[in-house]
Amino acid sequence: MASSMPGGRHARQPILSSAARGAGLIGAAVILGVILLQVVDDGSSGPAANGGNGGNTPVDTTGTNGTEPTAPADTRPPAEVTTLVLNASQVAGAAGTLTNQLVAAGYTTLPAADDPVTRMGLAVGCREGFEGDANALALAVTSATGQQAAVEAFPSDREADLGAQDADCVVFLGQV
């Protein structure tokens, strides 16, 4: 038999009632916290406001005031930047697809190839003197793939193995 409390209530009802009130109070606190953060946080501090992108070289992929992103001023026309796209993802045809997208964007490309080393993410590496072009190419790769492309050093130590002797820039298309 269930035990009764004065007033005809069962012993379990106060526990359930208290749990429901506690859950409601926590929910209200979370909602109030979100509202206060929206009102108080102006977005002018923290990693996102400081241009942070996980430790990679900063690449402007957002533009200014909602406009399209622009390449740095010290860039060559895309047709003057010979680019090699390497498939480091082991997804068949991925490098060929990105190569075709870069051709459509005006880049001079070498035939797509495979990188025997599998890697994560997208990266652009350009020879010395092509730093601005590296940032512009990273923007083009980010636009074509929808994934952030990091800028890193040109793979001089692997240049012959990769077939990159005639390339100004190399795009590593890794797993995303």
At 161, which CATH number?
3.30.70
Angstrom distance (rounded) from CA 167 to CA 160: 11
pTM of the model: 0.60
Q: Measuring CA to CA, which residue among 129, 134, 126, 118 is closest to residue 86? A: 118
Residue 136: predicted pLDDT: 94
> What is the model's pLDDT at position 151?
95
Q: Is residue 50 part of a domain?
A: no
Residue 20, domain member (yes or no): no
Residue 127: give the domain boundaries: 78-174
Pairing of strands 122-126, 169-174: antiparallel
In a domain, 155, yes or no: yes
Strand partners, 114: 87
Which residues in the chain show pLDDT less than 70? 1-16, 24, 27-30, 32-73
Query: Residues 107, 81: contact at Cβ < 8 Å?
Result: yes
d(CA 22, CA 73): 58
Kindly state the tokens that stand for 171: 């795009």
Going from the C-alpha of 15 to that of each of 11, 20, 91, the distances in angstroms are 8, 9, 56
Residue 94 domain flag: yes
Name the domain count of the chain: 1
Q: Does 98 map to a domain?
A: yes
Q: Is residue 4 part of a domain?
A: no
The answer to whether residue 125 sits within a structural domain is: yes
Does residue 132 fall inside a structural domain?
yes
CA 137/CA 169 separation, integer angstroms: 8
Identify the three-state secondary structure at position 96. helix
